[in-house]
Amino acid sequence: MEIFTSWTCWPEAEGPLAKALPPETVGVLREAVAFAGRRHGVQQRPTGRPYLEHLFEALEVAVIGAGTMDRDVLVAIVLHDVVEDTPCTESEVARRFGPRVAALVRWVTKQPGAVKADYLASLVKAPPQAVLVKLADRVSNVQQLQRMPWRFQRRYYLETVAYIMPLAGAHPWFAHWYADWRERWRRVERWPA
């Protein structure tokens, strides 16, 4: 199972991105990373690491792992949490990065007050490009699940198997990655609730 943690900042990502993507796509990604950096600020992941590292991991998953080249999908990956986790609005994303990026971000944004299981179940209706955003996001979140407390590990594992892995079926690279991941984590199924 490949782990994607090579990029923790823009200078580490820029060279590999420039080799894989057209220059205009790299330029828009640079803008999106700066935008996300301003919006997320000093926000941290549950592990205490800077939040932006998650965005770089998800981007690395999509480009280096899955070979995704769709500019709007990649920009949406970088911006996937700005509406959910910051004061940024969908219309602000649309103004800066276009309506398609904003729509992809909307699909992967859990609305305030929504039940997480309902939100995850609704992703079966999402367009394939929005599913790619969610799949890359979740790979970043689960690839080092061992860093989290065991109760969180169990809940997140079961949630990933129930809601995310079925989405991966239409995307061969992700289907293979998640199958390998599940095999490594299957022991969690035997843990007490």
Catalytically active residues are 84-85
Contact assessment for residue 82 and residue 67, using Cβ atoms and an 8 Å cutoff: no
C-alpha angle with apex 167: 33 to 119, nearest 5 degrees? 75
Contact assessment for residue 85 and residue 43, using Cβ atoms and an 8 Å cutoff: yes
3-state helix, strand, coil in the chain (%, to 5): 70, 0, 25
What is the length of the chain?
193
Q: Which residue in the block uniquely carries the two structure tokens 């070979």?
A: 67
Task: In whole angstroms, give the CA distance from residue 163 to residue 151.
Answer: 18
Task: In whole angstroms, give the CA distance from residue 48 to residue 96.
Answer: 29
Rounded to 10 deg, the angle between the 71-79 and 90-97 helix axes is: 140
